[in-house]
Amino acid sequence: MKKLLIYILLSVIISLTMGTIIAHAVDSGYVPTIPKPSTLPGLTETQQLEGTDQGSDLINKFTTSILPKFAIGMAGFIGGLSLLFIVIGGVRLATSYGNEEAVTKAIQQIEWAIVGFIIVLMGYTIVSLVVNLDFT
C-alpha cells in the first residue's frame, strides 16, 4: 500500500512538472524542429518552421494510388473465386441426381458463395467511398 501511494505521488509530481515545462515552452514561442540529414527524405528544418505540408506525400500516394489498386485486385480475385464456387455449386446441384444430402450441400455452397460475393462488393464499395472522400 505504501509503494502504491509513492508511485501515485511520483507520477503526479512528474506530470505536473512536465506540464509546466511544456506550457512554458508553448508560451515562449519555441517551435521544436527535428534536424535531418540531407540524404533522408522528409521536411527540412526551414520547412518544419514554415509549416509546409510536404511530409504527407507518402500518405496521399498510399490512399489515392496504392490502396485502391490493392482493393480492386483483391475484390477481383475473391469475387472471381466466389463466382467459381457458384458455378461449382451449380454443377454439384445438377449432378446430385435427387440425393437429398448432395442437394442441400450444393445449395449451401451456392448460398455461401453469394454471401462472399456480396461481402466483396460491399468491401470494395466502402474502400472506394473512403478513398474518394475529400478531407480538406
- Residues 103/96, Cβ–Cβ less than 8 Å: yes
Is the model more confident about 57 or about 110?
Answer: 110
Nearest-angstrom CA–CA distance, 94 and 12: 73
- Mean pLDDT computed over 4-12: 79
- Mean pLDDT computed over 1-28: 71
Nearest-angstrom CA–CA distance, 81 and 83: 5
- Residues 102/78, Cβ–Cβ less than 8 Å: no
**Predicted TM-score (pTM) of this structure:** 0.54
Mapped onto helix, strand or coil, the DSSP state of residue 46 is helix
Nearest-angstrom CA–CA distance, 69 and 67: 6
Confidence of residue 19 (pLDDT cuts 50, 70, 90): low
CA 87 to chain centre: 33
Task: Encode pLDDT of 36-93 as tens digits.
Answer: 667 766 666 677 667 655 556 666 677 677 778 888 888 999 999 999 999 999 999 9
Confidence of residue 112 (pLDDT cuts 50, 70, 90): very high
- Residues 79/117, Cβ–Cβ less than 8 Å: yes
Nearest-angstrom CA–CA distance, 118 and 82: 9
- Residues 107/89, Cβ–Cβ less than 8 Å: yes
Nearest-angstrom CA–CA distance, 59 and 63: 6
- Domain borders along the chain are 55-131
- Over 80: is that where the pLDDT of 1 sits? no
- Mean pLDDT computed over 3-10: 80
Where is average pLDDT lowest: 26-35, 76-85, 92-101, 115-124? 26-35
Supply the mean pLDDT for the chain.
Answer: 79
